[in-house]
Structure 1
């Protein structure tokens, strides 16, 4: 037979369950603006009815409910949306780093105000034009030499600035590597704590949120794959389990249980590689962009320096050829105007000792028998003529600048597209996992009314029991 006091117990269970739901709603409201917080839900479940099935169970018309309980308080997450968002975050990390590095190169090579290499070539060309008109003017010869020095200094500056900017990435590579390893260690530590709590039936939601926030941060450095495994047979069905984190496209685990394998950067002789536990990996993300632009031959810095070297080599070689076929004021053949190393011309190009010693060694004339001949100076000027089309030194430099500009535009476009996709995925994920104050206020009212109704039900049961205890079986009243 059902207990006389069962009604009180049923009402009490209802009070406890609705109170748990209200407290969960209050927790959601309190953390509406907390970074990484996932909204929680109290799962209400009917308790076992009376009587339970069995040979000795009483024969009654049907089972009678015994109330409700909050079986668990779980986070509302969608693992599929999490995986999509993290993949999108890796794409944004890569595109953002590429865009930032390319903008640095563009700023170094900036020629818009005429202060860069094109401005130096224009001034050198203009001085040669003047010299072709006034071949015996010592002042103009001095200007030609000074403008040539300015041109070589500009080559030196660009080479040095690009080399320094690339070397500065070393600190960013080391910082990113340390950050990745620190995050991995923190995730492994949280796995340890979660693994100790879950088998006892607990749902450490705050630890889950801390871990997922770290995984999101890690995904900006590299594209990762998250696998979940159960922490034991005693775990609640809503338990998130233990994370194993692998670099996307690779089987090597960065984090496995409470063990974190370190990310290392290793040189293979000519280039840097990313390795996890001794295995080379190639993840998308900001870390891959840093490695690509710091330690590979395809780096935008290395490519641009190589182009500058080729430009300086071509300029110096062709200029020397023309200059060597001309004649100095004394009628002798011209010598080399520039000195350089063929392997790194942009950093080594200088004026020859003869030119630095005396401007009389500039081969101005095309005919050794004419005293006022500026024909060779005109040929030298033509080599740097900005008004001549393809095939000149200027057009070659314009191609370098144009190529950098196109790369910057493409990188900005990729960054914008990646951010749009990531933001869309973030919105979809937030629609599932983030706190909606409107929804929480609605739930609060719903649970409050349910709590009030349960309290009223308990009052009714109390009045009924009072009637039985105090007013039944009293004879003579």
Structure 2
């Protein structure tokens, strides 16, 4: 009887639809889950004057928008680039601008000590000791700042190495899921959960580096860097590597061929960290080193041009070692207050301040500093800090924009693919009613069948 077949198909279809709704509700809080629904279609009559042959579930559909998914991955890359950079910028800005530890204040204190000697008594041992003490404090400030630079540089190297490992794991996952999805799709199996897992892996990878993703007819997705170098082709994935040395070069091996990579152009966390390292951290570190080298050279040269109170030639006060990890600047070993050569000549006598005045004038001399160009010694550190503050503010602005775009992308994705509890509740009620109605039709069909048998008996 067609009435019985129609009702049975309706009951089965409603059960499948209820299963889809229940799966959606079960995954209400599952990150990255894409809601599904049963697609129903009327079955046409086979011949004659039949009304039809009931209903069928033609497919289980995924509510997914490719454009919105791509926007989600793009926003992850932008957010990754700026979010990883900001903590380094903030730390460096705070250290360099700190009133109690910045280099500018150390320079001011050193020259203030020289001025105190010149204004009171150039032969005063306590005042001369203040100069040596201020020189030690200035050295410590240079060294403390240099240690911050070195620590950040090491941290960035370690973080980039971790990103390589994380990226390789995501690439392998995407390639494996491509293979599973292609095979399952060919067999007619629902692959929605596999696609969700792959999309999550791509989203994680996109936060590490900027990606281009292309769908393929077999259900797989090819993934490449923004410059076109392939990371995943079907079930084949690339392998990223780094040598881990001081220069930390990067490369990628795909299908037996190795390619060099420029991490600064990769985007995402890798690109953001590399850009900060190359464009901000290392130039600022070099700028501070330029200041330390030229300042100490000028002071040493001027001291060596004068004479001490005993008439001996002056000695170098500072030692500058750019290759030292913790002591870039230090006071020369064994340097005593009596070694300070403030007199212009032996004939001028111990009370002469001719050379001392030239030492005081060094503060207003010009030097060439990386990142800021030609500046006065007194202004060099301030301008480096100002340049760093500008970089930090620009990154903060870009980070705020990236966070907004990411939130919008997530909301747009959820509006299409996310599970809405109210909608699923309505679906449950509707398909429950559909099932009950079809079971009622089956009951009526059974009654009609029994009545027909009774009439024939």
TM-score (norm 2): 0.89
Q: 1:190 to 1:154 in 2, by over 3 A?
A: same
CA contact (8 A) 2:107 2:138 kept: yes
Alpha-carbon offset, residue 377 of structure 1: 3.0
Report the Cα distance in structure 2 between the residues aligned to 1:420 and 1:373, rounded to whole angstroms. 66
Alpha-carbon offset, residue 260 of structure 1: 1.4
Aligned equivalent of 1:286, options 239, 251, 269: 269
Query: Is it true that 1:436 corresponds to 2:415 in the alignment?
Result: no
Aligned equivalent of 1:18, options 14, 23, 28: 14
Alignment of 1:372-387 (within 5 A): 372-384=351-363
Alignment-derived partner of residue 130 in structure 1: 116
Report the Cα distance in structure 2 between the residues aligned to 1:17 and 1:305, rounded to whole angstroms. 69
Unpaired segments of 5 or more residues in structure 2? 366-373
Aligned equivalent of 1:244, options 214, 222, 234: 222
Query: Is it true that 1:463 corresponds to 2:447 in the alignment?
Result: yes
Alignment-derived partner of residue 28 in structure 2: 32
Alignment of 1:410-421 (within 5 A): 410-421=394-405
Alpha-carbon offset, residue 195 of structure 1: 2.2
Report the Cα distance in structure 1 between the residues aligned to 2:357 and 2:106, rounded to whole angstroms. 18
Alignment-derived partner of residue 310 in structure 2: 330
Alpha-carbon offset, residue 342 of structure 1: 7.5
Q: 1:346 to 1:321 in 2, by over 3 A?
A: farther
CA contact (8 A) 1:99 1:412 kept: yes
Alignment-derived partner of residue 207 in structure 2: 220
Alpha-carbon offset, residue 271 of structure 1: 6.7
Q: 1:67 to 1:438 in 2, by over 3 A?
A: same
Report the Cα distance in structure 1 between the residues aligned to 2:239 and 2:153, rounded to whole angstroms. 25
Aligned equivalent of 1:309, options 289, 307, 315: 289
Alignment-derived partner of residue 181 in structure 1: 168
Tell me which moved more, 372-381 or 85-94. Answer: 372-381
Report the Cα distance in structure 1 between the residues aligned to 2:339 and 2:450, rounded to whole angstroms. 124
Aligned equivalent of 1:146, options 123, 133, 136: 133
- Map Cα deviations across residues 125-156 of structure 1 (whole Å, 9 max, x no partner): 22212211221111111221122122123222
Tell me which moved more, 203-212 or 6-15. Answer: 203-212
- Map Cα deviations across residues 284-318 of structure 1 (whole Å, 9 max, x no partner): 11022334455xxx242211221011101221222
Alignment-derived partner of residue 370 in structure 2: none
CA contact (8 A) 1:74 1:203 kept: no
Alignment-derived partner of residue 405 in structure 1: 389
Query: Is it true that 1:46 corresponds to 2:42 in the alignment?
Result: yes
Q: 1:188 to 1:335 in 2, by over 3 A?
A: same
Report the Cα distance in structure 2 between the residues aligned to 1:266 and 1:346, rounded to whole angstroms. 25
Alignment-derived partner of residue 168 in structure 1: 155
Query: Is it true that 1:361 corresponds to 2:339 in the alignment?
Result: yes
Report the Cα distance in structure 1 between the residues aligned to 2:426 and 2:84, rounded to whole angstroms. 43
CA contact (8 A) 1:224 1:248 kept: yes
CA contact (8 A) 1:310 1:345 kept: no
Alignment-derived partner of residue 55 in structure 1: none
- Map Cα deviations across residues 437-463 of structure 1 (whole Å, 9 max, x no partner): 111112222212222221222222222
Aligned equivalent of 1:112, options 86, 95, 98: 98
Report the Cα distance in structure 2 between the residues aligned to 1:371 and 1:395, rounded to whole angstroms. 32
Report the Cα distance in structure 2 between the residues aligned to 1:102 and 1:23, rounded to whole angstroms. 51
- Map Cα deviations across residues 75-102 of structure 1 (whole Å, 9 max, x no partner): 1111111111101110111111222232
The number of residues matched between the two structures is: 441
CA contact (8 A) 1:37 1:434 kept: yes
CA contact (8 A) 1:43 1:74 kept: yes
- Map Cα deviations across residues 248-283 of structure 1 (whole Å, 9 max, x no partner): 231x32112222111223699967344352234532
TM-score (norm 1): 0.85
Cα RMSD over matched residues? 2.6
Report the Cα distance in structure 1 between the residues aligned to 2:243 and 2:75, rounded to whole angstroms. 27
Report the Cα distance in structure 2 between the residues aligned to 1:311 and 1:341, rounded to whole angstroms. 13
Alpha-carbon offset, residue 117 of structure 1: 1.8
Report the Cα distance in structure 2 between the residues aligned to 1:158 and 1:111, rounded to whole angstroms. 11
